[in-house]
Amino acid sequence: MAVDEEVHQRARVIAAIRRTSVSELVRGFLKGLTETDVSGEKDEAREALLKLIDQSTGRMGDWRPSRTETYSGNPRFDK
């Protein structure tokens, strides 16, 4: 693999500042790229969930807690 000399020099400076090597910078970049490039899988999962939501027959109904019920003053368990 060939890298432009100016890019290589800049990478060496960055590597020196970070107290590592250019090779380690490249390894880290490639590792990060391959770990995060599963966005296609995430998109597929997201699409499947949205499809399930659209097809769901479950409904909340008309009941909603009133303000009085919500703020009744009764002890809460999350305190």
DSSP 16-70: HHTTS-HHHHHHHHHHHHHHHTTHHHHHHHHHHHHHHHHH------S----HHHH
Tell me the whole-structure pTM to 2 decimals.
0.45
User: Tens of pLDDT along the chain (79 residues)?
Assistant: 688 899 999 999 999 999 999 999 999 998 887 776 565 677 788 889 999 988 888 776 777 777 777 777 766 666 4
Helix (H) and strand (E) counts for the chain? 4, 0
Ranges of each domain in the chain: 7-35
Q: Is the dihedral of CA 11, 12, 14, 19 positive or negative?
A: positive
Q: How many CB atoms lie within 10 A of CB 17?
A: 8
